[in-house]
Amino acid sequence: MHHFSPSIQVWYRQNYRKLPWRETRNAYKIWLSEVIMQQTRVNQGISYYKKFVEHYPDVSKLAAAEEQEVLRLWQGLGYYSRARNLHFAAQQVVNEFNGVFPDNFKDIKSLKGVGDYTASAIASFAFDLPYAVLDGNAFRVLSRYFNDDTPIDTGQGAKIFKAYADDVLNKEDPAEFNQAIMEIGAMVCKPKNPDCENCPLADTCLAFNEGVPTSLPVKSKKVKVTTRHFHYFIFPSQEIQLIKREGKGIWQNMYEFPVLELEGKKLKSEIKTLVQKKFRVNLLKKISEEKHILTHQHINATFWEVDERLKDGGIVKVDLETINDLPLPRLIERFLEENVGLFME
């Protein structure tokens, strides 16, 4: 067995954070935690994990839920396709595996939204199967340990780092080993200020001894960010008018104010003409402007007051009490919090 393994597992036993999903071997709960924890801070993830386990204690309960209810529970976590995939995959488990969470890598990976990393995590944590996990933390630890600057987001990088991960994996105890390598990455081998002096791998880490740990790992591609301009139209009243966001893309099946998405910046006079044509109402004044930052998109949102109720077939009417029953993007939720007076007598 590679000497890498015992040293990080000893460190892990002494330093690991107590997290609720580390106290179970239930594959359903482990899967739930893995999906919730993608792109999420641990503190925030814990509260959502507990909420989901409480609402849906087993996979059949999640499968039987309405998508709208799942999205509402997910509200605030972002990346809503994760929630939709979660719901769809629960239905797969019920329909294709008789409600029993699959216990082998191939079947686990067949679930919607589950890739190599998540399938490896569930297979090792729930069933002790010898699959090495490769999340961002593991990539960072391995690229520094082997001082390898192959870009991790390329086909070649994926192969090389998978080989490293398989080489160092403790096949006798893959569950603890995988937890340990990720925890080292999260707590010691951090992106900007790695604590190399207190790292159990320092003696044999090539980047620490021969290179520059913070220059690794290397990525070849930069995230392309698009800027979008949303114009929301609001008639101040206790009866709040919302519209369901259809089609693929951000916030699918969530609710927002009636909206026009326009290219680039527009003059008020242009917006006035467009809103008259689409909703048959007149523009009065600008209420506020907000910038909403997502990983791949920057949304410039302008909220406008209009002179009467909007006319559109898809409009849903709610009040402040029932609005919480609907899944809302954080941008809309924040506007409501800051402008609650518009919707009261």
* CA 217 – CA 200 distance, rounded (Å): 19
Q: Cα separations (Å) of 49 from 2, 4, 31, 245, 342?
A: 34, 32, 10, 26, 34
Q: Which two tokens stand for residue 101?
A: 């969470």
Contacts of 184 (CB under 8 A, 6+ apart): 8, 11, 12, 137, 141, 199, 200, 201
Three-state SS for 189?
coil
Q: Is 290 a catalytic residue?
A: no
According to DSSP, residue 327 is labeled -
Question: Is residue 79 left, alpha or beta, with left meaning phi > 0 and alpha meaning psi from -120 to 50?
Answer: left
Residues 306 and 235: beta-carbon distance below 8 Å:
yes
Contacts of 124 (CB under 8 A, 6+ apart): 130, 131, 132, 133, 174, 175, 177, 178
Alpha helices for the chain (secondary structure H): 4-15, 27-37, 42-55, 59-64, 67-74, 81-96, 105-109, 116-127, 136-145, 155-168, 174-187, 206-210, 268-279, 330-338
Contacts of 14 (CB under 8 A, 6+ apart): none
Among candidate residues 34, 176, 183, 256, the one labeled active-site is 34
The catalytic residue positions are 34
